């Protein structure tokens, strides 16, 4: 149990000589001193009064705070705030006086700054401002005039053109806006503006750009087998045959890290030497397009075949719509489109775009085969009419019959196609035989090297490095001197 003492309402009376009862404020000290004097003056005390003094002293000691200040009244607040009673007022008065002085100094400084002349009124500052403003406007006007000049030939090939219905000022401003927007298409433009090297004397006259996805191959993914790739029937012969007439380019929308693997399996002999991927496409409004102006070829000699009409949206006059392939083993589109491409190469037009526009928005392979069948039918009908006339009595009297009336005639494009295919078959057979020989020699050489190669020889070659050619500097020096002497004599 805790023993609770009853405290008196009178303030504690302690002597200043007691260490435990030492007051923490001036008021308490004065009061204690005054009580002590009164006790000293009173002389002797009775036993009851002495007991009362002891109870009062013990109650004062128990009410003292362990932090060194009294726990009653203003003593506790003074101890917590770290100030002595009677001193807080003076300190607050001093701080308020300092605050008022600092505020007065700040107001005086603001008035002084307001009286100073503004910096903009100085002549040097004014001149610099006028010069910088003039330069800025001059550069702006020069840039606008430069961006508003007529389109160049390259820009016209890229599809930039003026609207003939607009006035001269509107066309000028339209060119400024389009060219300014094109400056910020760095991340949407192809990796380079020349995707193919310059054409040389060995480059075929026409360029054939083929899509990969769902046209040459069909890729399918299942949970049981993963990725599987199906080649379109006849694609191997098609690539080899087209390479004899066209410069073949395969342009896929796949990234290079996946598309390259598919193309290496599809065309290991590289009948299509140029292969373009997603990073070679042009991004416009979040969509990728195959910009043919970046392949560095004449647009009048370029044919692009794709199953998606959006792919050649930038050059619609060069695009032929292909038939999608979804893995059907009986697909015959390759045979049909081959005849169309053969015919274009045989006719050798100066511009292929009018031929392509004939089948715009249609299945070119199917429509061309219909046209061929109609031509063949017409030739046979004309032959039958001539044959019927040849059997009449008038032909015996006024003229002889044609030389061959037994077999129907063959159209000229069929005759030319037959000769081209026979020539290609002979040439292709020789080329494949040479490639087979080279491959056999290469495999034999690799087997021989692997058989002769030991771990010791391999380590020795790795440490020594490749063999250095013999030093022929001493042999070449006399020859160089002799040539210099001959040149000197010729100069004399």
Supply the CATH number for residue 243's domain: 3.40.50.1000
468 occurs within a structural domain:
no
Are 211 and 358 members of one domain?
A: yes
pLDDT of residue 349: 94
Are 69 and 175 members of one domain?
A: no
Are 3 and 77 members of one domain?
A: yes
The band of 105, judged by pLDDT with boundaries at 50, 70 and 90, is confident
pLDDT of residue 49: 53
pLDDT of residue 26: 41
pLDDT at 407 over 70: yes
Are 255 and 302 members of one domain?
A: yes
Are 216 and 339 members of one domain?
A: yes
Are 271 and 217 members of one domain?
A: yes
pLDDT of residue 154: 76
Q: Quick count: other Cβ atoms within 10 Å of Cβ 231?
A: 14
The band of 177, judged by pLDDT with boundaries at 50, 70 and 90, is confident
Kindly report the three-state secondary structure assignment for every residue of 228-271. EEEECCCHHHHHHHHHCCCEEEEECCCCHHHHHHHHHHHCCCCC
pTM for the model: 0.56
pLDDT of residue 365: 92
Are 245 and 325 members of one domain?
A: yes
103 occurs within a structural domain:
no
Contacts of 379 (CB under 8 A, 6+ apart): 408, 409, 410, 411
Mean pLDDT within 462-483:
54
Are 219 and 338 members of one domain?
A: yes
pLDDT of residue 443: 86
pLDDT of residue 352: 95
197 occurs within a structural domain:
no
Mean pLDDT within 148-176:
83
Mean pLDDT within 154-176:
82
- Using the Cα atoms of residue 25, residue 31, residue 34 and residue 40 in order, give the sign of their dihedral: negative
- Higher per-residue pLDDT: 182 or 231: 231
Domain boundaries, position 13: 1-86
193 occurs within a structural domain:
no
- Using the Cα atoms of residue 195, residue 196, residue 198 and residue 204 in order, give the sign of their dihedral: negative
- Higher per-residue pLDDT: 232 or 2: 232
Strands 287-289 and 282-284 turn out to be: antiparallel
User: What is the average pLDDT value for the chain, to the nearest integer?
Assistant: 75
Mean pLDDT within 183-206:
78
pLDDT of residue 401: 46
The band of 125, judged by pLDDT with boundaries at 50, 70 and 90, is confident
Please give the DSSP secondary-structure letter assigned to residue 406.
Answer: S
pLDDT at 5 over 60: no
pLDDT of residue 423: 92
Instruction: Convert the pLDDT of each residue in 70-96 to its tens digit.
Output: 444 444 444 444 444 444 455 555 666
Are 157 and 244 members of one domain?
A: no
Are 277 and 392 members of one domain?
A: no
In the numeric block, which tokens belong to residue 238? 């098609």
The band of 309, judged by pLDDT with boundaries at 50, 70 and 90, is confident
Contacts of 25 (CB under 8 A, 6+ apart): 69, 70, 75, 78, 84, 85, 86
Lookup result for tokens 């770290």 = 82
pLDDT of residue 267: 93
Please give the DSSP secondary-structure letter assigned to residue 213.
Answer: B
Mean pLDDT within 121-142:
83
246 occurs within a structural domain:
yes
The band of 124, judged by pLDDT with boundaries at 50, 70 and 90, is confident
78 occurs within a structural domain:
yes
482 occurs within a structural domain:
no
Mean pLDDT within 415-422:
92
Mean pLDDT within 396-403:
48
pLDDT at 370 over 70: yes
Total domains in the fold of the chain: 4
pLDDT of residue 345: 93
466 occurs within a structural domain:
no
For the chain, how many residues are written? Answer: 492
- Higher per-residue pLDDT: 33 or 185: 185
Instruction: Convert the pLDDT of each residue in 234-243 to its tens digit.
Output: 999 999 999 9
Lowest mean pLDDT among 115-124, 164-173, 193-202: 115-124
- Higher per-residue pLDDT: 249 or 23: 249
pLDDT at 160 over 90: no
pLDDT at 477 over 90: no
Cα 454 to Cα 139, 460, 462, distances in angstroms = 72, 10, 12
Are 231 and 346 members of one domain?
A: yes
pLDDT of residue 116: 65
Instruction: Convert the pLDDT of each residue in 424-458 to its tens digit.
Output: 999 989 988 998 888 888 888 888 877 776 666 66
Are 356 and 216 members of one domain?
A: yes
pLDDT of residue 215: 94
């Amino acid at each position: 149990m805790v023993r609770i003492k009853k405290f008196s309402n009178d303030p504690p009376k302690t002597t200043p000589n007691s260490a435990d009862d030492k007051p923490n404020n001036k008021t308490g000290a004065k009061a204690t001193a005054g009580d002590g004097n009164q006790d000293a003056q009173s002389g002797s005390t009775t036993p009851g009064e002495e007991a009362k003094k002891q109870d009062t002293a013990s109650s004062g000691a128990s009410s003292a705070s362990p932090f060194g200040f009294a726990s009653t009244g203003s003593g506790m607040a003074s101890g917590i705030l770290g100030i002595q009673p009677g001193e807080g007022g003076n300190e607050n008065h001093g701080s308020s006086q300092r605050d008022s002085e600092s505020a007065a100094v700040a107001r005086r400084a603001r008035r002084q700054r307001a009286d100073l002349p503004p910096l903009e009124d100085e002549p040097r500052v004014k001149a610099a401002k006028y010069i910088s403003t003039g330069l800025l406007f001059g550069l702006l006007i020069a840039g606008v005039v430069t961006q508003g000049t007529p389109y160049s030939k390259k820009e016209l090939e890229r599809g930039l053109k003026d609207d003939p219905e607009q006035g001269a000022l509107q066309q000028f401003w339209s060119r400024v806006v389009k060219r300014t927007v094109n400056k910020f298409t760095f991340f949407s433009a192809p990796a380079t503006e020349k995707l193919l090297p310059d054409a040389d004397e060995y480059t075929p006259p026409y360029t054939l750009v083929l899509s990969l996805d769902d046209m040459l191959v069909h890729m399918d993914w299942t949970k049981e087998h993963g990725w599987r790739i199906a080649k379109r029937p006849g694609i191997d012969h098609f690539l080899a045959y087209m390479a004899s007439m066209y410069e073949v380019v395969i342009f896929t929308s796949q990234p290079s890290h996946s598309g390259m693997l598919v193309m290496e399996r599809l065309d290991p002999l590289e009948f299509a030497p140029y292969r373009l991927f997603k990073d070679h496409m042009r991004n416009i409004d979040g969509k990728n397009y195959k910009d043919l102006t970046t392949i560095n070829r004449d647009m009048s000699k370029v044919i692009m075949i794709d199953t998606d009409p959006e792919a050649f949206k930038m050059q619609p006059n060069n695009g032929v719509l292909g038939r999608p392939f979804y893995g059907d083993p009986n697909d015959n589109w390759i045979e049909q489109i081959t005849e169309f491409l053969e015919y274009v190469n045989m006719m050798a037009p100066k511009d292929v775009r009018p031929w392509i526009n004939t089948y715009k928005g249609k299945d070119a392979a199917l429509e061309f085969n219909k046209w061929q069948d109609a031509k063949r039918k017409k030739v046979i009908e004309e032959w039958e009419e001539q044959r019927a006339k040849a059997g009449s009595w008038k032909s015996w009297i006024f003229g002889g019959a044609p030389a061959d009336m037994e077999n129907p005639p063959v159209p000229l494009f069929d005759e030319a196609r037959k000769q081209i295919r026979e020539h290609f078959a002979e040439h292709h057979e020789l080329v494949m035989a040479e490639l087979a020989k080279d491959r056999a020699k290469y495999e034999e050489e690799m087997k021989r090297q692997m058989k002769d190669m030991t771990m010791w020889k391999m380590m020795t070659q790795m440490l020594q490095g490749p063999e250095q050619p013999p030093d022929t500097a001493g042999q070449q020096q006399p020859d160089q001197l002799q040539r210099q002497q001959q040149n000197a004599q010729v100069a004399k």
